[in-house]
């Protein structure tokens, strides 16, 4: 990926036909501590980062190739000597250049996450809590795009097609982006930069992220949602986990035309099949209820026994409706959020 931090433009749209590229760099190196030059070639794009003394790093994307490092720098400069190229110069603080030059080396962390099951606000909060250095691509279903840049425990900026790919320096996820992701829908990709490639000088910016939990309905009996831990163990939200999992299954089955019947009916049938083993899930006893994303259980068994039974039923439903491949691909946010509960229960989700 080619990223050009267009936060502070110095000059834009220069035509290489009238320029000596070596003298152009020499001039801007004399007046800027750091910067980047963006090259728009007839069938390619490239960027070269520089400081006061050196051309540091380059990235060149052509139709059939992607070059980085000094090879890219040389390729870009050679192209300007024989082709009509538009050049723009942007100021970049020298201490931030290592981060921007490392973006091209980012590695996939999570791919093709749908906002139907992954809340953008929750994902950003999770990646910040995990001290991710990298970026999140947001491909909206209406064709627009945005890229959110994160470093350790903060958001450091964003770019979007709607904003002309200008770098917006911000430490908070814009509310309009959250609302658009929920209304329009989007596919999310998370990419990680190796720590040794992204060292930046200076103290981290202070940031305050929203505290709301994304998209999980409240329990009708909140006091029953938390399992009492043993000494030394974290507080476990087993019922909250089960409710969220039921909601995921509900949305998937409701949106899949190949599956006959609605989720509540399928779930009740499964409970009837397993009533000899798990009588506390008997739908006619009405101790367990699930509807519209809300789960209630008023029976006598503890949360661990409830989870064991319910997870076994859900796994059978997944196998019977060819959901396994989809779950393996799409369940990472759930597994991350409830990792303590899953480890404690020692189950496969």
Question: 48 is written with which tokens?
Answer: 């070269």
What average pLDDT does range 5-10 have in this prediction?
90
| Furthest-apart CA atoms within the chain: distance in Å | 84
Nearest one of 223, 183, 249, 232 to 303, comparing CA atoms: 223
Q: Which residues pair with 39 in a beta bridge?
A: 46, 87
From the centroid of its chain, how far is CA 248? 18
Q: What residue has token string 């994304």?
A: 214
Q: By the 8 A CB rule, do 214 and 126 touch? A: no
* The pLDDT value given to residue 175: 92
Q: What is the pTM of this model?
A: 0.56
Task: Tell me how far apart the alpha carbons of residues 153 and 204 are, in angstroms, rounded to a whole number.
Answer: 8
Task: Tell me how far apart the alpha carbons of residues 154 and 204 are, in angstroms, rounded to a whole number.
Answer: 8
pLDDT digits (tens, 9 = 90+) for 153-166: 789 999 999 888 88
Q: By the 8 A CB rule, do 133 and 150 touch? A: yes
What are the φ and ψ backbone dihedral angles of 46, each rounded to 5 degrees?
Answer: -150, 160
pLDDT above 50: residue 204: no
pLDDT digits (tens, 9 = 90+) for 274-332: 988 999 998 888 889 998 888 999 888 889 999 999 999 999 999 999 888 888 777 87
* The pLDDT value given to residue 195: 58
pLDDT digits (tens, 9 = 90+) for 87-122: 999 999 888 888 898 888 889 988 889 998 889 999
Q: What residue has token string 């099951």?
A: 117
pLDDT digits (tens, 9 = 90+) for 130-142: 888 999 999 999 9
């Amino acid at each position: 990926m080619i990223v050009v931090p267009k936060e502070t433009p110095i000059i834009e749209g220069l035509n290489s036909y009238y320029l000596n590229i070596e003298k152009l760099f020499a001039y801007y190196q004399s007046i800027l501590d750091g910067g980047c030059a963006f090259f728009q070639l007839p069938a390619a794009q490239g960027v070269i980062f520089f400081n006061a003394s050196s051309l540091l790093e380059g990235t060149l994307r052509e139709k059939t190739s992607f070059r980085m490092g000094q090879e890219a720098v040389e390729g870009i400069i050679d192209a300007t000597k024989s082709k009509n190229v538009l050049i723009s110069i942007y100021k970049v603080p020298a201490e931030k250049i290592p981060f921007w030059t490392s973006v091209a080396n980012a590695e996939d962390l999570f791919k093709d996450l749908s906002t139907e099951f992954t809340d953008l606000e929750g994902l950003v909060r999770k990646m910040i809590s995990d001290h991710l250095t990298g970026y999140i691509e947001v491909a909206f279903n209406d064709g627009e795009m945005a890229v959110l840049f994160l470093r350790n425990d903060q958001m450091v900026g964003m770019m979007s097609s709607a904003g002309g790919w200008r770098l917006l320096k911000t430490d908070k996820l814009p509310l309009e982006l959250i609302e658009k992701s929920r209304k329009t829908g989007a596919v999310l990709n998370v990419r990680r930069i190796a720590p040794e490639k992204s060292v930046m000088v200076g103290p981290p910016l202070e940031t305050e992220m929203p505290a709301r939990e994304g998209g999980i309905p409240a329990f009708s009996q909140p006091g029953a949602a938390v399992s009492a831990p043993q000494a030394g163990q974290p507080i476990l939200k087993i019922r909250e986990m089960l409710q969220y999992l039921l909601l995921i299954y509900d949305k998937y089955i409701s949106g899949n035309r190949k599956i006959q019947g609605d989720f509540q009916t399928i779930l009740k049938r499964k409970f009837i099949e397993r009533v000899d083993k798990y009588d506390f899930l008997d739908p006619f006893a009405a101790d367990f209820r699930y509807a519209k994303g809300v789960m209630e259980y008023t029976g006598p068994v503890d949360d661990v026994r409830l989870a064991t039974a319910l997870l076994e039923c859900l796994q059978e439903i997944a196998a019977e409706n060819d959901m396994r491949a989809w779950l393996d691909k799409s369940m990472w946010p759930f597994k991350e959020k409830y990792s303590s509960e899953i480890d404690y229960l020692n189950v496969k989700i």
